[in-house]
Structure formats: C-alpha cells, structure tokens
Chains A and B, each alone.
Chain A
Amino acid sequence: MGASNFTNSVDNIFLFILAVSVALLVGITITMIYFIIRYNHKRNPRATDIPGNVTLEVVWTVIPLLIVMGFFYYGYIDYKQMRDFPDDAMQIKVTGRMWSWLYTYPNGLQTDTLYLPVGKPVTVNLESMDVIHSFYIPAFRLKMDAVPGVPTKMWFTVEKPGSYQVLCAEYCGDRHSYMLSKIVGMPQAEFDKWYASASAEIEAQQAGTEEAGAAPAGPSPEKGARLVKLKGCVACHSLDGSRLVGPSFKGLFGKTETVIVNGKEEQITADEDYIRQSILEPSAAIVKGYPPAMPPQRNIVTDDDIEHIIAYLKTLK
C-alpha cells in the first residue's frame, strides 16, 4: 500500500514508461554502436547509398505513435481519478503565504501541521495570500499551485499512518526552500481524539474572550509563542537573535532602533504601540537595513492575537 491512494498508480505508470523508454534507448544506442563498428571504413571501404524506404518510414512513424497514445491513455485514466472529487471528503483549507503553510479545519481550527485520519478522502482547497506557491507532498505524488485570487483544489486519501513531508514547489522568494511543513496521518480513532481536544481548546479560548468580564484571560505568553509559529511570523523572524528576512524577535521589545518613515530616518523605541503598528501596517515604518518585505497581517492576526504576541515578545530577552 502506498502513502496515498495515488502513490501506487503513479509509480506504476512511471515504471511502465521508464521500462519502455529504457528498452528503446538501449535499442537505439546498441544499433548505433553496432553500425559504427560494422560499417567502419576499414571493414566497409565503399558506402551504399540508400535514400530512403517508405515501408520502414511508415513503420517508425506509426509504432511510436501507438506507443505514445498508450502513454497518454494510461495517464488520462489515472488523472481523471485525481480530478474526480468525492462528495464525502473532509474539506481542509490550505493557505500559502511567504513562507509558511496554514491549515484550517471545517470547524475553524487552525494548525501549522496537517493532521489527517487514515482512510478518509480529503479535499484540499488552496489559496494564497501573496504570490504563487505550490502545495507539494512527494510521498503522495501530488502537488497543486496556490494562486492568489484563483481557488484551486486537489484530493487524496492517506492510506498509511505516518508523517509526510510538505514542500513549496513554486519559487516564492528568499525563504522558498524553508517553506516546509508536515502531514501526519493517524488512525481514525486517534484523529478524532486529537481533533476533539484541539477544538475544545479553541472553543475555550473563544468562550474566554466572550466572557472577558467574568474571567479576564489576559495576554498569555504561551499563546503568543504558539501564534508566532502558527501565523508564520517565524518564517521571517528568528527567536534566537539570528538574522532572517526580518529582524529577530529576540531582545526586540524595548529596544531603541532606527526606522525609515516616509523616506526619513527616525529613532524609536519598540513599545507596544510601535509593535502593534509594525504588525498591522508594516510599511509605515521600515527598520533600517531591512527590505520592505513584511506583508500587512491585518487579515491574519486579530487584535487579541497581537496582545498575546506582545506578551510573548516581552519574554524574549
């Protein structure tokens, strides 16, 4: 059994074409070498002119034609299945952005690793927040572009429990090769348990904000730590002081630094307001020495999220 329901069928077509190709290539090469030796001018001092042969030429037009039509047909059958979406599939939204993947489950639960039940068809609905990305799972033999403004989708069934690499396959800028994630396939029962507990947490959170008066949840550094991973901030901001595309989060809070506002340099202190603005409207003040590469996060993080993130940043001394 393959990792996904398409793994084996794609491998079989590939091996079939590979076998035919190798046979033809070896045939052509051996013939070439044989002629070179057999008809070397020492063995064959006078050449014979053969300007052509209609039968032969018809044969080697028709046979390759039949072979490639076979390839096409074989591929077409499998492809039709890839594009024949089952009605009972679980619907997952996958959002690509520079440079991370975000998964949204039917109930609104969001994760940065995609947990899926084994044996159940899944439809992945792709969207992109910025440039084109491509959602690629080599073990499943599947990929599909995430195009801004154009909804795309693909489907599969995970057949074997395990952890599978997810990569971005459409070049999307500096950290393209780090736009990685995982799909974890688990037995249905295990998945149900995980899904229930992860969803409960979300509900508790939402309930918490609604009942803010009763039990003030307050900004929580733990939630902040989760959010910077989930929302893809760590794709550009390191937590250990090293420089990625943007400045590191380490020691950021309370730091005095130079920013460029409307083309003029200014000194600022990174307080709560500055950080709030940096997240919602990054182009208002660009940190000196960095490119204006941060996308506005207005649709990605809520005001509450920002409070949690700030609380977390304060702990990163």
Chain B
Amino acid sequence: MASHAIDVQNAQENYLEVKGRWSGILSWIFSTDHKRIGILYLVSIAFFFIVAATIGIFMRLEQLTMGPTLMKPEVYNRLFTLHGVIMIFLFIIPGIPAILGNFFLPIQIGAKDVAFPRLNLLSWWLFMIGATLAILTLFLPGGLPDTGWTFYAPYSIRTGSEVSLAVFAAFILGFSSILTGLNFVTTVHRMRAPGMSFFRMPLFVWALYATAWIQILATPMVGITLLLIIVERLLNIGIFDPTQGGDPILYQHLFWIYSHPAVYIMILPGFGVISEIIPTFSRRTIFGYKLIAFSSLSIAIFGSLVWAHHMFVSGQSDLANIIFSFLTFFVAIPTAIKVFNWVATLYKGSIRFEPPLLFALSSIFLFSIGGFTGLMQATLPINVHIHDTYFVVGHFHYTMFGGTIWALIAGILYWFPKITGKMYNKKWIYVAWAFMFIGFNTLYGTMLYMGWKGMPRRYYDHLPEFHTDHVIATVGSWFLYTGILILVSTLIYAVYRGTKADANPWGGTTLEWKTSSPPPLENFEKEPVVEHEPYYHEEAIR
C-alpha cells in the first residue's frame, strides 16, 4: 500500500481545500466540481432520510395501540404519503447515483469531471426546488397530500389536500433525474481514460450506465402522467375521472409504466456498489464480470415490460394478468445470477472482514428475502390475497431498504475514507449494524407475517387479531432507528475527529484508489492509463 499513491498526497491541494471564486457555503452550492456536488447531495439526501425515517417511527407509534394513539386518521394518511414521497422521490431515486455516482463515476473511468458540470449543478438545484415545493404544501390550506405516494385517481382528483403542487414538485424532481442520467451516459461514452474500454469499466459504472438509460427513457412518462393529474384537477377534463367518462385504470397503467422501471433505477446502482465491494475485500477478481454487466442491462430491459403486475386485482383483463405474471418471473433470473456470482466471488478469496463487506453481504441477504417475497407476489393467486396488504409493505422495504439502502450504507462506508480522508471507528459501526439488523427483521419480518394474515396497508387502525404483531413491529422500529442514529453519529464524528486515512485503506484496485484521499480537484495528478481489467489484484494466484 505504501507505494506511489502516497507521494501524490501532498503534491496537489485536495478538492476540499481548493479556494475558488466563492467561499463558505457558496463554495458548495455554486460549485461545479462533481465531488462537491456529490457531497451536496449526500447532505441533503441524508437529511431527508432522517426526516422520513422519523415519520416512519411516528407511524409505528400510532399502531402501538388499537384506536387513536397519537393522531387522527387525516394526519396518519398524510404521514404515510409524506414518508413514501420523501423516501421514493427525494431519497432512493436520486440516492446512489446522485451521491456516490456523482463522486465516483468520473474518477472510476479516469475523467476530470462529468461531461456537463454545470448541468450537474443545475440538477442539484432542481432537486432542491422540487423538494421545497413539496414541503410548501404543508403551509397551504389543503395541507400535505393524503393520497399515498401513488396518487391513484380518482381519489387524487377528489381530495381537498394539495395534490397539484406536490405532483408538480415530483415533476420537477423528474427533470433533475433525467439530467443526471443524460450527464452519466455522455460521460461514460466520451470521457473514459486511455485504455478504459467498456469491458474494463468497474461494474459500478455499468450499473450507473444502465440506470441512466432508464432515467432518460422512463422518467418522461411519469412527468406526463403527473401533469395530466394537475390538468384534471384544475380543468376537469375527465381523463381519469369516471364521472366524466375517464378511466381510472388508465392512470394506474401510466403511473406504473414509469414507476416499475423506477424500482430498477432504485436497485441497480446498489447492485453496482456490491459488485465493487466484494472483489476488493476478497482480493480477487469478480466471478462472471460480463454476465453481471449484461444482467444489469437485461434487468433494465425486462423491467420495462412488467409494470402491470401492480394491477392484478385492478380490473384489467385476465389475459393481461397472466402475461404480466409470466414476464415478471423473468426479471428474477438476472437478479439470481448476480447473487450467485457475488457468492462465487468469495470462493478462494483472501477475505478481509470489514464493515463495508458486512453491510454488502447483509444487503444481499435482505434483498434475497425481498426477491423471494417478490416471486410470491408474482404468482397470481397469491397476489390476489396479499396485494395491498402489509406483505407488500414488508416486501418493498426488504428490497428497497434492505437491498438499496444497505448497499448505499455499504458504499458510504467503503468510500468514506476516500471522500473525507478520515477513517471512522469500526467498533461503533458493528454496534450500529447489530441494532439495525435485528430491528429491521423484527419490523419488516412481522409486516410480512401480518400481511399474509390479511392486514391491509395504509390502515390508520387495526383489528384485535393483528395487535400483538403490531406491537412487535413497533418495538423493532425502535431498534432500527437507534441503529441508524448510531451509524450517522459515528460517521459525523469521524468527519471531524476520525483518524487519517490512507489513499487505499482497503486494497482496492479501481482508479479511485490510485489517487490521494481526498482526491485533488481534477481527480488525478496526471491522466491515468488503464492496463488491466478493473479488479486486477496483483498478488492473486492466476
């Protein structure tokens, strides 16, 4: 490790020290450096996550007793909507691409920045404007929307809450997402360092590349759909409203044509992070590089053809149900391939067990539960029973939270020393992990169980037969939340007081580990030349 990377350290100012035109906070919010923008996203997105997780805790508290506990139904309904909207639109969709992608995509392909740095800054601003508009609904007469994050018509057209502004906010957030996607695709095509052929790109870059295409192609769909909701509310033209000859099921199609591919926008980057972490800590190359890269693309393609599996009991035709059920099962295959390849990568490795690996492997475990419960839901007669119950709530928390967010945490732990130049206290990270892992399974495992028993989702109150389960789930949420707080405080503490980190503390092989920690403004002292596949560990037996 004590090789030439260290000499670089003092040669150039790192990106945190560079003095630009602005200082203080302005040096962040007007910066076009992809690394600073990545951190802007990290701070804003982490803030939204904590807010939404706190809302989740309050929702669980409401379920601690039968009947009213803390709030009225109209408050509960607004809370789950706000929780869902923040988690989806402000947290998990931008999530990994905006934070880790912005920071590491250019570095991993040996570029100085993304292709359009100013557009990149504009994306962040659009993101913040969208977020602000969504929060503004709080202060308007109708208050926060109470429709659930799916805004189903005709309820969303009839409700008195401020749906129009909230939906407009989501529309703007969509643009932020499209611009980021555009930026990444162009960067991957145009900015690779000499020798960085497509098949020498790290798998994280492949995952971001596949995601970026979905962002560009699918997001305009939801933009149009959301605009139609606004038009419908303001002008009453009757596209979705049956009292005027509209079709409420059409809304669901339009909504899910985007929102299903969107779940792959959420998960693929997480798969990318895991594909980085496992080879590094195994000190060997990844098993089945091309298969993993192509499985990202095939998930992106198949994922676009399965949207109506959210609508098996909506009243669409039986034939449509059968076809969409059939297609849905195919998405499982590339996902299963990835899991097998990751496990095979541990085989004959020389494994260093560190916090990022622990979180990455936990992510695989939790995501697998999400995947298996997904297969159950894809099976038609089972879906008829568990659709719109807590089973679904459990399932998507296992996939999105267990899969993506645990992978995001793994990624942050992996790259933290690179981003900040500091190392955190690993013992406290293990403590946080234990709380989170126990809490997570207590909370969401119980949700799966109650869903199978017939507890519908979005219920302010529950029947006596579900009471014990709800109490257990709520206790689980306390453990989970405690774990999250320990994790966040450990990392914040490390930013200020952490020990100094090496340029390559984990023995990684991709380009970001060949520059100093934190990297200089333009990422590399001199443009790197790539001679090997990304996970080439010199000392491994070949």
* A→B interface (CB under 8 Å): 6, 9-10, 13-14, 17-18, 21, 24-25, 28-29, 31-32, 35-36, 39-41, 44-53, 56-57, 60-61, 64-65, 68-69, 71-72, 74-76, 78-79, 82-83, 130-132, 134, 136, 138-139, 141-145, 147-150, 152, 165, 167-178, 180, 291-293
Docked complex Cα distance between A78 and B384 (Å): 11
Q: Mark B331-348, 1 if CB is under 8 A from A, else 0.
A: 011001101110110111
The reply on B183 being an interface residue by CB < 8 A is no
Can you show 25 pairs from A to B with CB atoms below 8 A apart?
A: A14-B452, A17-B372, A21-B372, A28-B339, A36-B353, A40-B353, A41-B283, A44-B349, A50-B347, A52-B291, A64-B332, A72-B326, A75-B381, A78-B381, A138-B385, A138-B454, A141-B385, A143-B387, A148-B243, A148-B248, A150-B242, A165-B463, A171-B152, A173-B155, A178-B461
B389: chain A residues at CB < 8 Å are: 169
Q: How far is the CB of B293 from chain A (nearest CB, A)?
A: 12
Q: A14-B376, A32-B343, A69-B329 are in contact. Are A177 and B248 (CB under 8 A)?
A: no
Q: A60-B336, A148-B242 are in contact. Are A74 and B379 (CB under 8 A)?
A: yes
* B155 engages A14 (CB within 8 Å): no
B368: chain A residues at CB < 8 Å are: 24-25, 28
The reply on B159 being an interface residue by CB < 8 A is yes
* A167 engages B350 (CB within 8 Å): no
Which listed residue (B315, B343, B533) contacts A150, Cβ 8 A? B315
Q: 10 new A-B pairs (CB below 8 Å) besides A24-B372, A50-B344, A52-B288?
A: A32-B361, A35-B346, A36-B353, A47-B537, A51-B533, A57-B341, A75-B380, A76-B322, A171-B147, A177-B458
Docked complex Cα distance between A28 and B247 (Å): 45
B339: chain A residues at CB < 8 Å are: 28
> Smallest CB-CB separation from B286: which chain A residue?
A51
A165: chain B residues at CB < 8 Å are: 454, 463
B542: chain A residues at CB < 8 Å are: 48-49
B322: chain A residues at CB < 8 Å are: 76, 79
Q: How far is the CB of A48 from chain B (nearest CB, A)?
A: 4
Which listed residue (B147, B318, B346) contacts A32, Cβ 8 A? B346
The reply on B453 being an interface residue by CB < 8 A is yes
What 3 A-B pairs are tightest by C-beta distance, nearest first? Answer: A138-B454, A149-B242, A75-B379
Select the residue from B286, B344, B361 with max chain A CB neighbours within 10 A: B344
* B74 engages A9 (CB within 8 Å): no
Which listed residue (B315, B344, B376) contacts A152, Cβ 8 A? B315
Residues of chain B in range 211-268 having any CB-CB distance to chain A below 8 Å: 242-243, 246-249
The reply on B158 being an interface residue by CB < 8 A is yes
The reply on B122 being an interface residue by CB < 8 A is no
Q: A18-B376, A75-B325 are in contact. Are A35 and B160 (CB under 8 A)?
A: no
